């Protein structure tokens, strides 16, 4: 079996296995799986409103997935996407509420602010990794907490006067559009999806079609070989973290300028950054794969909300199914072995 | 080899993330849905929880209990066309959940918790025919009723009980996140303590979250260690850590007198030997009351409905029978209830008001 085919089949089989095991769990606990999956489907695509919400949810997932995938291609685990996402969100909203500018300047400025904030937040672990070989997983996890509490502090004490959420951003900074909302019956669909798609293309082009991308991938394949070939490993490590953080910050802007239009004090993580890890993993760290797996995860998350009402199935079950899918993707080695066996037998 | 190790690390991190994400959620109550909804003109009501979930043992749960009771009293069935709830797993879900319920033609939709303010504001403008109610916040829209509580009156009574029970004259207060609601709890509690026992000191600490039981446990541990013997929490799920800590300590050393005070609903079930009382915030009463009014055609849209001691919206749960001076506490509490109800005492609701407060 060709490598390409098996790399496409593996995630699909993982998803199917996740659904099958999910069905077994539902049967075992006395729920009706057909009703549950129908409700899941209806909750995601049964109504134009829900489809709009799915796309809205997919937008930050694509960008968070790209952030994880980009770093991974250079051999780094950016677990700090959540933190970069939060500072990006904060920066975008901050610019969004504090200036009065024409839309053509204001909106790009807010978006750029989120990119810079996310990139800076990822630059720190990148630098520490490059200079002192400090493991990026530990630093990025810690930076998540720093981001959470600093952004809470700033929202409470700097942007507002001891309130739990900022004002709405000015209309000139919003990604929302009444046209898109009227198209989808008041869903929160916004223009961010276009940005996310452009970023998918951008990442593909950068990694596959440029010299810099070749260098980045080389460092991911084998640092020593890359170093021997005269590439600067440290520079590429920092660069990859910065780009990864920029994607993550942009994901935050999608929530800040699109979905919500404000920033709130958070008691805990939003989970988007961590879901991004699953998205990237299922998407095999390619931009096209991330795009499709983000759609799957977005549809699951939004569709799940409908399950208790329509089918009486607790929506936690979708969390279980997502966990199972991730489990099967992570153990894709087993699936691959089976696939190889199967094809070999077929040849005989 | 290296790559496989990386995969392992990645899946471990993922597993951790999934576990963390699943924290604080347990099983749902058995839901028997009826799909015969939508027939006729029966009144239907539903609620959207905040990210604490419907089984948070306090706030959301109390609202759901109110809706359940309202549904049963009026012969409604759970499901479409009757009464139901939707759980939110993240802040992004509020709008979707509220919209889902509006689309299912529920006559009244409750948003439980101040975090839903933005979402309700937005949808109320779009769905002008739908009726909403928000608990713990104020939304100025003609089709939204805002439910607020005088939490300070309940926590004032809890403060009286705490001050009369403490022997070390050190009392703890654990808050969830700093917000106007929790500030009312804090100000009222401190005022109550000062009114009954001016010598007692109140240690105040905030966990920064409503769903971090482990933080609540750590704070409670710190307070007990530094000499506090009564702790009050206004921290939702976070407060469950306080009960765990107190139960553990009581088990290790049954002789030592330590007490904790619950919040929102009567939390006596959290530990029969340690729960002194609870500052009741009857979200269930308010939810039933508002639903009933809406059903009778007098929905209080655009208004702020305030529930205090006079409206039976707040109060103090029965004092634990094992408390050393139960009768004295009850007597004092009843006296203060009289003074508050008559308006002779105005309980402070903010830290600023607390500074100028003096109990006669």
A221, A345: one domain: no
Residues facing B75 on adjacent strands:
none
| pLDDT for res B10 | 52
Averaged confidence pLDDT in chain A: 92
Q: What does the alpha-carbon distance between residue B345 and residue B159 come to, in Å, rounded to a whole number? A: 15
Confidence at B15, pLDDT banded by 50, 70, 90? low
Interface check A326 vs B, CB under 8 A:
yes
Best mutation target, B92, B105, B351, to test chain A (most A CBs within 10 A): B92
Percent of chain A with pLDDT over 90: 79
- Rounded to a whole number of angstroms, the distance from the CA of A348 to the nearest CA of chain B is 31
Domain count, chain B: 2
A102, A145: one domain: yes
Q: Which two tokens stand for residue A207?
A: 């990694």
Residues of B in contact with A311 (CB under 8 A): 33
> Is B313 within the bounds of a domain?
no
With a cut of 50, say whether residue B30 has pLDDT above it. Answer: no
B247, B348: one domain: yes
Percent of chain B with pLDDT over 90: 72
With a cut of 80, say whether residue A28 has pLDDT above it. Answer: yes
B165, B126: one domain: no
**Residue count (chain A):** 348
Interface check B97 vs A, CB under 8 A:
yes
Confidence at A329, pLDDT banded by 50, 70, 90? confident
A191, A255: one domain: yes
Poorest-pLDDT segment among A108-117, A151-160, B4-13, B139-148: B4-13
| pLDDT for res A244 | 97
- Tell me, what CATH number does B78's domain have? 3.40.50.2300
Mean pLDDT on B248-271: 92
| pLDDT for res A230 | 92
Residue A324 near residue A282, CB atoms below 8 Å: no
A113, A80: one domain: yes
3-class SS of residue B19 = helix
> Is A291 within the bounds of a domain?
yes
Q: Which of residues 180-219 of B touch A (CB under 8 A)?
A: 208-212
Task: Give the structural domain span for A164.
Answer: 47-312
Residue B42 near residue B263, CB atoms below 8 Å: no
Mean pLDDT on A58-63: 97
Domain count, chain A: 2
CB-side neighbour CA atoms (13 Å) of B101: 33
Mean pLDDT on B44-69: 89
A147: Cβ–Cβ under 8 A, 6 or more apart, which residues?
A80, A82, A83, A84, A86, A87, A121
> Is B96 within the bounds of a domain?
yes
- Rounded to a whole number of angstroms, the distance from the CA of A112 to the nearest CA of chain B is 23
| pLDDT for res A319 | 84
B173, B272: one domain: yes
B184, B197: one domain: yes
- Where is pLDDT greater, at A43 or A319? A43
Q: What does the alpha-carbon distance between residue B178 and residue B235 come to, in Å, rounded to a whole number? A: 10
Interface check B176 vs A, CB under 8 A:
yes
What residue of A is the nearest CA neighbor of B24?
A316
Cβ separation A309–B100 shorter than 8 A: yes
With a cut of 80, say whether residue B23 has pLDDT above it. Answer: no
With a cut of 80, say whether residue B96 has pLDDT above it. Answer: yes
> Is A186 within the bounds of a domain?
yes
Interface check B42 vs A, CB under 8 A:
no
With a cut of 60, say whether residue A193 has pLDDT above it. Answer: yes
Q: What does the alpha-carbon distance between residue B187 and residue B164 come to, in Å, rounded to a whole number? A: 18
Poorest-pLDDT segment among A223-237, B326-340, B345-359: B345-359
> Is B224 within the bounds of a domain?
yes
B193, B331: one domain: yes
What residue of A is the nearest CA neighbor of B8?
A330
Mean pLDDT on B323-334: 93
B84, B106: one domain: yes
> Is B18 within the bounds of a domain?
no
A164, A191: one domain: yes
A212, A340: one domain: no
Mean pLDDT on A183-195: 93
Residue B271 near residue B240, CB atoms below 8 Å: no
A14, A107: one domain: no
A324, A307: one domain: no
> Is A38 within the bounds of a domain?
no
With a cut of 70, say whether residue A151 has pLDDT above it. Answer: yes
| pLDDT for res B315 | 94
| pLDDT for res A348 | 46
Q: What does the alpha-carbon distance between residue B184 and residue A24 come to, in Å, rounded to a whole number? A: 48
Q: What does the alpha-carbon distance between residue B44 and residue A288 come to, in Å, rounded to a whole number? A: 45
Residues of A in contact with B79 (CB under 8 A): 309, 312
A75, A3: one domain: no
B123, B218: one domain: no
B75: Cβ–Cβ under 8 A, 6 or more apart, which residues?
none
B44, B183: one domain: no
Mean pLDDT on A166-189: 92
A96, A138: one domain: yes
> Is A116 within the bounds of a domain?
yes
> Is A255 within the bounds of a domain?
yes
- The tens digit of pLDDT for each residue in A268-314 reads 899 999 999 999 999 999 999 999 999 999 999 999 999 988 888 88
Angle at B344 between CA B341 and CA B349, to 5 degrees: 75
B75, B213: one domain: no
| pLDDT for res A345 | 62
> Is B319 within the bounds of a domain?
no
A83, A152: one domain: yes
Instruction: Looking at mean pLDDT, say which of B32-36, B58-62, B187-191 comes out highest.
Output: B187-191
> Is A233 within the bounds of a domain?
yes
B170, B241: one domain: yes
Task: Give the structural domain span for B232.
Answer: 151-280+325-355
Residues of B in contact with A333 (CB under 8 A): 4, 7
- Tell me, what CATH number does A195's domain have? 1.10.3470
Q: Of B20, B97, B212, which is closest to A305 when you measure between CB atoms?
A: B97
B140, B262: one domain: no
> Is B163 within the bounds of a domain?
yes
Give the DSSP letter of residue A137. Answer: H
With a cut of 90, say whether residue B327 has pLDDT above it. Answer: yes
Mean pLDDT on B126-132: 93
With a cut of 60, say whether residue B139 has pLDDT above it. Answer: yes
Q: Of B11, B96, B123, which is closest to A305 when you measure between CB atoms?
A: B96
Cα–Cα nearest to B195, from B352, B342, B340, B341: B340
- The tens digit of pLDDT for each residue in A92-147 reads 999 999 999 999 999 999 999 999 999 999 999 999 999 999 999 999 999 999 99
What residue of B is the nearest CA neighbor of A266?
B209
Mean pLDDT on B16-42: 44
Poorest-pLDDT segment among A142-151, B7-16, B29-38, B247-256: B29-38
A16, A92: one domain: no
With a cut of 50, say whether residue B38 has pLDDT above it. Answer: no
Q: What does the alpha-carbon distance between residue B58 and residue B234 come to, in Å, rounded to a whole number? A: 10
Cα–Cα nearest to A12, from A322, A342, A275, A282: A282
- Rounded to a whole number of angstroms, the distance from the CA of A219 to the nearest CA of chain B is 13
Mean pLDDT on B301-329: 93
Confidence at B8, pLDDT banded by 50, 70, 90? low
> Is B20 within the bounds of a domain?
no
Confidence at B33, pLDDT banded by 50, 70, 90? very low
B97, B163: one domain: no
**CA distances to A44, A100, B140, B267 from B207, in Å:** 36, 36, 30, 20
């Amino acid at each position: 079996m060709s490598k390409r085919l098996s790399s496409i089949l593996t995630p699909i089989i993982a998803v199917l296995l996740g659904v099958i095991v999910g069905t077994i769990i539902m049967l075992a606990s006395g729920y009706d799986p057909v009703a549950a999956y129908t409700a899941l489907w209806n909750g995601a695509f049964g109504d134009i409103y829900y489809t709009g919400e799915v796309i809205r949810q997919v937008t930050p997932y694509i960008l968070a997935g790209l952030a994880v995938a980009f770093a991974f291609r250079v051999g780094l685990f950016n677990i700090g996407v959540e933190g970069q996402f939060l500072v990006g969100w904060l920066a975008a909203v901050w610019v969004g509420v504090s200036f009065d500018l024409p839309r053509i300047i204001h909106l790009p400025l807010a978006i750029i602010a989120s990119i810079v904030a996310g990139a800076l937040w990822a630059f720190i672990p990148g630098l520490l990794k490059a200079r002192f070989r400090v493991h990026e997983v530990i630093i990025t996890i810690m930076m998540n907490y720093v981001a959470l509490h600093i952004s809470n502090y700033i929202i409470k004490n700097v942007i507002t006067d001891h309130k739990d959420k900022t004002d709405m951003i000015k209309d000139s900074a919003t990604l929302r559009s009444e046209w898109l909302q009227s198209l989808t019956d008041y869903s929160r669909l916004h223009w961010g999806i276009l940005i996310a798609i452009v970023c998918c293309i951008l990442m593909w082009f950068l990694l596959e079609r440029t010299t810099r991308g070749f260098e980045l991938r080389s460092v991911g394949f084998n640092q020593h070989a890359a170093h021997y070939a005269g590439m600067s490993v440290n520079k590429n490590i920092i660069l990859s973290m910065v780009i990864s953080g920029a994607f993550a910050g942009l994901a935050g802007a999608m929530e800040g300028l699109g979905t919500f239009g404000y920033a709130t004090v958070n008691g805990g993580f939003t989970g988007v950054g961590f879901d991004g890890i699953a998205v990237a993993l299922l998407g095999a760290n390619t931009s096209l794969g991330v795009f499709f797996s983000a759609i799957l995860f977005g549809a699951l998350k939004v569709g799940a909300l409908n399950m208790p009402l329509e089918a009486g199935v607790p929506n936690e079950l979708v969390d279980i199914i997502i966990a199972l899918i991730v489990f099967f993707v992570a153990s894709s080695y087993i699936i691959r072995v089976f696939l190889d066996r199967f094809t070999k037998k077929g040849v005989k | 080899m290296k790559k496989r190790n990386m995969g392992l690390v990645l899946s471990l991190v993922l597993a951790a993330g999934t576990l963390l994400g699943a924290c604080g959620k347990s099983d749902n109550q058995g839901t028997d849905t009826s799909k015969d909804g939508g027939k006729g003109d029966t009144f239907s009501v539903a609620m959207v929880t905040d990210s604490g979930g419907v089984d948070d043992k306090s706030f959301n749960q109390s609202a759901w209990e109110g809706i359940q009771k309202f549904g049963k009293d009026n012969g409604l069935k759970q499901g479409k066309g009757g009464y139901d709830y939707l759980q939110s797993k993240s802040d992004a879900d509020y709008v979707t959940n509220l919209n889902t319920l509006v689309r299912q033609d529920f006559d009244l939709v409750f948003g439980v918790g101040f975090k839903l303010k933005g979402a309700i504001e937005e949808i109320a403008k779009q769905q002008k025919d739908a009726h909403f109610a928000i608990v713990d916040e104020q939304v100025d829209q003609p089709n939204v009723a805002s439910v607020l509580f005088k939490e300070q009156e309940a926590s004032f009574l809890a403060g009286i009980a705490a001050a009369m029970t403490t022997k070390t004259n050190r009392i703890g207060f654990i808050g969830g996140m700093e917000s106007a609601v929790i500030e009312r709890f804090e100000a009222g509690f401190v005022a109550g303590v000062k009114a009954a026992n001016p010598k007692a000191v109140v240690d105040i600490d905030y966990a920064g979250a409503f769903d971090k039981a482990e933080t609540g446990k750590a704070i409670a541990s710190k307070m007990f260690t530094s000499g506090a013997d009564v702790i009050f929490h206004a921290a939702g799920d976070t407060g469950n850590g306080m009960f765990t800590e107190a139960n553990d300590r009581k088990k290790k050393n049954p002789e030592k007198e330590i007490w904790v005070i619950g919040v929102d609903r009567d939390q006596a079930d959290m530990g029969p030997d340690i729960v002194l009382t609870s500052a009741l915030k009857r979200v269930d009463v308010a939810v039933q009351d508002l639903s009933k009014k809406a059903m009778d055609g007098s929905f209080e849209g655009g208004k702020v409905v305030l529930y205090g001691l006079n409206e039976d919206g707040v109060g103090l749960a029965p004092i634990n029978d094992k408390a050393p001076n139960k009768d004295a506490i009850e007597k004092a509490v009843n006296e203060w209830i009289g003074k508050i109800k008559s308006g002779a005492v105005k309980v402070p609701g903010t830290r600023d008001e607390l500074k100028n407060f003096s109990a006669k």
